[in-house]
């Protein structure tokens, strides 16, 4: 299934095996039933970074199962001031 992914505030796709490598906004083909947690692992985002994830404008947790054409936004905390 296809997802529309937006990575914010310095996040990017860190998996060199994927066509989105280095990008922040992209479409991505993933297996049906992929969860938010599995998507972040696929994108090789440091698992130690806490993320706020939005799916179609709703705040969802890591075990949430994604669907075809979902728009997924991931936001890390921002520590500067």
Partner 1 sequence: MFTEDQIERYSRHIILKEVGGKGQKKLLDGRVMIIGAGGLGSPIALYLAAAGVGTIGIADADVVDLSNLQRQIAHHTKDIGVPKVLSAKEKMEAMNPDVRVNVYHDWVSAANIHGIIKEYDFVIDGTDNFAAKFLINDACVLAGKPYSHGGILQFDGQTITVVPGESPCYRCIFPVPPPKDAIPTCSGAGVIGVLPGVLGTIQATEAIKYLLGKGELLAGRLLTYNALRMRFREVPIRKNPSCPICGESPTITELKDELDALNVCDMPQAKG
In angstroms, rounded to a whole number, what is the distance separating the alpha carbons of residues 74 and 14? 14
**3-state SS, residue 72:** strand
- CA dist., res. 81 & res. 62, Å (int): 28
Going residue by residue from 19 to 58, which x/- string records binding to partner 1, judged by CB under 8 A? ---------------------------x-xxx-x-x--xx
Considering the complex, what minimum distance in angstroms separates the CB of residue 67 from partner 1? 20
Residues that bind partner 1 (CB under 8 A): 8-10, 46, 48-50, 52, 54, 57-59, 73, 75-81
């Amino acid at each position: 299934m296809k997802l529309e992914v937006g990575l914010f505030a310095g996040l990017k796709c860190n998996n060199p095996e994927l066509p989105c490598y280095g990008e922040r906004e992209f479409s991505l083909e993933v297996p049906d039933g992929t969860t938010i947690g599995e998507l972040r692992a696929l994108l090789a985002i440091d698992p130690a970074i806490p993320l706020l994830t939005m799916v179609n404008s709703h705040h969802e947790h890591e075990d949430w199962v994604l669907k075809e054409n979902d728009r997924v936004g991931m936001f890390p905390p921002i520590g500067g001031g």
